[in-house]
Structure 1
Amino acid sequence: MNLDATHIAIRERGFAEVMDLALKVIRAHLGPLVLCGLAGAAPWAVINGLLLDGMVSDLDIWDQTPWFLTLMGLLVAVETPLATAPITLYMGQVTFQDQTDPRRILGDLLQSLPQLLWHVAFRAVMAVTFIGLVLPYGFAPFTQELILLERNPMLPGKEKRMTTRRRSRNLHKSASGDLFGHWLAALCSGVLLVLALVGGLHTAASQLGGYEISRTQLITVLVPICVWMVVCYFAVVRFLAYLDLRIQREGWEVELKMRSEAARLARGMA
């Protein structure tokens, strides 16, 4: 692990800069990120398609579309931690290492799975009251990163260790206003990105491919695909914003330099 030679410069950034950096990171690691996105999101996209199958038809498309999109949005909000976990773990590896290990990604995912399932269950309960779309993103958006990357225990145990809940509270405290503003910016940007992708793919299919997409296919197939693409993009944004929050609140770049220097001195004395 190269603490002083990260592939992403460890420094403070604004949220707009974080979103721009995410595009550059995706371009640099497009292949692995696409594979991680497909591995995480494709099964959930299929499950959602089966759950919502038959809800929309050409006969009543305008009556059923709002209800379909609402249910799909709630399902995606609940499933996002599991669907984007491979992307988060990959980003955690690639930030500090020249090579990534798929077996380690799988092992870390399995190790974090119990807490991740509890996190998903909490989001499912909140989604019933429609608060789940706001609360996890607006006030504690980086719980997933804490579970997958820092792997604090769920319970303190006899050793009174730092739990994930306490760690999340310490990281997010005094930043709820900024984080909620970032969530609103991400939500608005995400909606615009979905609309742009839907319009672009629809035009490409009809004009370049000569394939006419029906209204039902547009709502039930093309829109969910574009939603998951945007969710995967914001998984990268969320990881970079997590790094940025640690830098702002904890001086993480200083900690990395100190740890790197300590490791260098230890190697010199060996």
Structure 2
Amino acid sequence: MQLDKTRIAIRERELLEIYDLALVVMRVYWWKIVQAIAITAIPLTFLNAALLWSMEPDLVVDDTAGAFLVYMCCLIFLEAPLAGLPITMLLGDALFHDKPDWRRMASGLWPVVPRVFWIVAVLRAILPGMGLALIASFEDDPVAGTFLFFACCYAGILRGVRPYISEILVLERNPVFSKNKDAITVGRRSSALHQPNFGDLIIRAMAAGAFSVLLTASVVMNVFGLRGFVFGEWNWNDMFLFVWFPCALWLVVAFMTVVRFLCYLDLRIRREGWEVELVLRAEASRMKEVAG
């Protein structure tokens, strides 16, 4: 591994350049990215189906089918940071290696799991949202559905002002708490990275939100049309609602995770001069090898 010879050129990029680069990354690593998203998306899809299964008998009713689609969108929106963690690990490894290796990626991951559970699954409303979706699926509970909407708003605001918490957890692996007063905890690292760029992060979050909505609509309609032309099914049956629709949403999650990772690199370059740090660390490593 040579820190100054990365697979992705380390330099500042404009937002449109980042989206263009994300398409290139998707093309180069598409199979690895599919594997990575499948690790979390498959079990989460089964879990979401179980949470909303009580609505299945009434999906022939348009109102119930509409509520089902909304609840499924809410669940996958909330679960997106958790589902994208394997992709983040993959891209972090692919940045410095020609061939990403799952064993190398997973090394040292176990100590991070409790932090991920607490910060991503609990504090970012994934588990509470699942509970609200389960309650809302029974009797079409409007109160639980309303709270689920507010949970999504809360999670969206957090992602707007603190978007790179997943990268901090699984790539930088800072501790949540430390007895050492000088230790860089997750909170300190997050504040140092995010607070000075609050305005830029909000603008990028708004752009990402608008783009995600358009991309989701496009992918869902293309999946619906492809299914119709191939299988001759032009209705909203259980197969589409429980399988094809979530798959389309997970594809959007995968792409936006790649975009977020590239935005994270761009922010570190702009804020911390990361490209200079990598060159210095590479030279220090070479000098150590020569001296050794």
TM-score, normalised to structure 2, is 0.85
Post-superposition offset of 1:34: 0.9
CA contact (8 A) 1:2 1:96 kept: yes
Give the 3 Å change call, closer, same or farther, for CA 97–196 of structure 1 in structure 2: same
1:101 alignment counterpart: 101
2:32 alignment counterpart: 32
Gaps of 5+ in 2: 130-146
Post-superposition offset of 1:251: 0.7
**SS across alignment from 2:124:** helix
2:186 alignment counterpart: 164
**SS across alignment from 2:40:** helix
Post-superposition offset of 1:66: 4.5
Which of 198-207 and 7-16 deviates more?
198-207
Gaps of 5+ in 1: none
**What amino acid is aligned across from residue 211 of structure 1 in structure 2?**
G
**SS across alignment from 1:215:** coil
**What amino acid is aligned across from residue 198 of structure 1 in structure 2?**
V
Post-superposition offset of 1:107: 3.4
**SS across alignment from 1:4:** coil
State how many pairs are aligned. 268
1:134 alignment counterpart: 156
Deviations 1:49-103 (A, max 9, x none): 1211242645422x23443333223322332232111111111101011232212
Correspondences of 1:40-79 after superposition (within 5 Å): 40-55=40-55, 57-61=58-62, 63-79=63-79
Looking at structure 1, the residues matched to 231 and 185 of structure 2 have their Cα atoms a distance apart, in angstroms, of 55
Give the 3 Å change call, closer, same or farther, for CA 14–108 of structure 1 in structure 2: farther
Alignment counterpart, residue 192 of structure 1, candidates 207, 214, 230: 214
CA contact (8 A) 2:37 2:254 kept: yes
**SS across alignment from 2:55:** coil
Is 2:235 the counterpart of 1:214? yes
Post-superposition offset of 1:219: 4.2
1:180 alignment counterpart: 202
Deviations 1:167-208 (A, max 9, x none): 00000012122111111111111111121112222222222x
Looking at structure 2, the residues matched to 176 and 67 of structure 1 have their Cα atoms a distance apart, in angstroms, of 34
Post-superposition offset of 1:268: 2.7
2:14 alignment counterpart: 14
CA contact (8 A) 2:161 2:202 kept: yes
Looking at structure 1, the residues matched to 191 and 27 of structure 2 have their Cα atoms a distance apart, in angstroms, of 33
2:134 alignment counterpart: none
Post-superposition offset of 1:104: 2.9
**What amino acid is aligned across from residue 123 of structure 1 in structure 2?**
R
Alignment counterpart, residue 165 of structure 2, candidates 120, 138, 143: 143
1:124 alignment counterpart: 125
Is 2:252 the counterpart of 1:251? no
CA contact (8 A) 1:18 1:237 kept: yes
CA contact (8 A) 2:220 2:249 kept: no
Looking at structure 2, the residues matched to 233 and 224 of structure 1 have their Cα atoms a distance apart, in angstroms, of 14
Looking at structure 2, the residues matched to 69 and 247 of structure 1 have their Cα atoms a distance apart, in angstroms, of 39
Deviations 1:110-159 (A, max 9, x none): 23111100112001178653333422221000001000000011102246
Looking at structure 2, the residues matched to 78 and 157 of structure 1 have their Cα atoms a distance apart, in angstroms, of 32
The alignment-based identity, stated in percent, is 37
Correspondences of 1:230-241 after superposition (within 5 Å): 230-241=252-263
TM-score, normalised to structure 1, is 0.91
Give the 3 Å change call, closer, same or farther, for CA 107–260 of structure 1 in structure 2: closer
Looking at structure 2, the residues matched to 250 and 70 of structure 1 have their Cα atoms a distance apart, in angstroms, of 40
Correspondences of 1:105-116 after superposition (within 5 Å): 105-116=105-116
